[in-house]
Amino acid sequence: MRIFKKTVLVMLVISSLSSCEKIIDLNLDNANGGIVIVGNVFDRAGATEVKISRTVDFTEPNAFPPVRSAKVKIEDNIGRSVTLTETKPGSYTTSSIRGVPGIAYTLTVEIDGQTYTATSKMPSPVTIDAIFIKKRDFSNEKEISLNFKDPEDTDNYYRIIEYINNTLKPGINIGNDKLYQGEMINYSLGSSALDDNTPLKTGDKVRVQLQSIDKDVFEYFRTSRGNDGRSASPANPVSNISNGALGYFSACSVREAMITIP
C-alpha cells in the first residue's frame, strides 16, 4: 500500500474557503474589475451552481462584488443545453443537470458583451474502500485516514474535501496517481478539526468527499498554492476559463464516506 502525499492548496475566496498561508502579489494596476468564475457539475442529484464575481483593488475593502444579470449556459457534447437562473446575486443555478462520467460539459458565460468559456470532461468515479481512525505516532491525537484503489491504465487526478460536523474544513487537498498507478492508496487527513490548533474530539462527525477531477482542474488547484485568489497578479492560478477570467469550471464525479470519532 502506498502513502498518498497530501498537498494543501488555497481556493478562491468566492468558494468561502480560507487558508493559514497567504502570499499576495501587489500588482495593483491590474487587480480591479477582473472576472472570477467558479462552477461545478457533479454526478449526483442536486443544484449545479456557478458563482461569478469581480476582483477588487488591494486597497479596497475585501468585498468582492457579485456579477448580476450574466447569461450562463452549460451544454454537453451530446446535444443537451441548460440555461442557469440567477437565484441570488452572482449565483446561477439549475437542478436540471446530473453529470455523467465520460461526458464533456462546456460552460458559457456572457457579461457586458464579453464571452467566457470552459470545458471539462467528467472522469469516472473512484470508490472510497475504507475510512478509519488511528492514533498518531508519539501522540494520543486521533487521525482520519482513507483507502481507495486507483484505477489502472489511466491517469487520475483527485481532490479530497473534508467536513467536520457539516462544516467545510479550510484548505484543498489534491493529488494524482503519477507514482501510484493502479495501486491501493492510503491517504491521511490529519488529526485537526477546523483549524490546526484544535484536535478532533469524541463525537465529531467527519464526512469526506473523493472527487475525481480532470487534469486542467488539477492544474488550477496545483498552481493555486500561495495565492488567495483576491487579486489579479502574474502568479494567478492557471485557469481553464477563456478570455482572461480567473477561477475554474469542473465536471467531477464524487464518492463519500463518513465516520464518527469514538
Most confident of 11-15, 126-130, 132-136, 184-188: 126-130
Please count the residues of the chain: 262
- Report the distance separating Cα 117 and Cα 74, nearest Å: 10
Note whether residue 224 is domain-resident.
no
Note whether residue 114 is domain-resident.
yes
Task: Give me the pLDDT at residue 30, please.
Answer: 46
Residue 252, pLDDT above cutoff 90: yes
CB 121 within 8 A of CB 179: no
Q: Which domain holds residue 118?
A: 22-122+229-252
Note whether residue 148 is domain-resident.
yes
The per-residue pLDDT for range 67-103, each reduced to its tens digit, is: 999 999 999 999 999 999 999 999 999 999 999 999 9
Q: Based on the domain organization, do 174 and 109 belong to the same domain?
A: no
Which CATH number does the domain housing residue 248 bear? 2.60.40
- Cα distance between the two ends of the chain: 25
Q: Based on the domain organization, do 130 and 203 belong to the same domain?
A: yes
Note whether residue 14 is domain-resident.
no
Note whether residue 59 is domain-resident.
yes
Label residues 228-262 b or e (16+ Cβ within 10 Å = b): bbbbbbeebbebbbeeebbbbbbbbbbbebebebe
H-helix segments, the chain? 215-222
Q: Based on the domain organization, do 133 and 51 belong to the same domain?
A: no
Residue 8, pLDDT above cutoff 50: no
pTM across the whole model? 0.82
Q: Based on the domain organization, do 99 and 158 belong to the same domain?
A: no
Residue 56, pLDDT above cutoff 70: yes
Q: Based on the domain organization, do 195 and 181 belong to the same domain?
A: yes
- CB atoms inside a 10 Å sphere around CB 112: 8
Q: Based on the domain organization, do 113 and 162 belong to the same domain?
A: no
- Report the distance separating Cα 49 and Cα 85, nearest Å: 9
Residue type, 149: K
Note whether residue 219 is domain-resident.
no
Give the number of domains in the chain. Answer: 2
Task: Give me the pLDDT at residue 135, please.
Answer: 82
Note whether residue 151 is domain-resident.
yes
Q: Based on the domain organization, do 30 and 90 belong to the same domain?
A: yes
Q: Based on the domain organization, do 201 and 129 belong to the same domain?
A: yes
Please state the rounded mean pLDDT for residues 11-18. 32
- CB atoms inside a 10 Å sphere around CB 127: 9
Q: Based on the domain organization, do 118 and 152 belong to the same domain?
A: no
Q: Based on the domain organization, do 102 and 116 belong to the same domain?
A: yes
Most confident of 19-28, 177-186, 230-239: 177-186
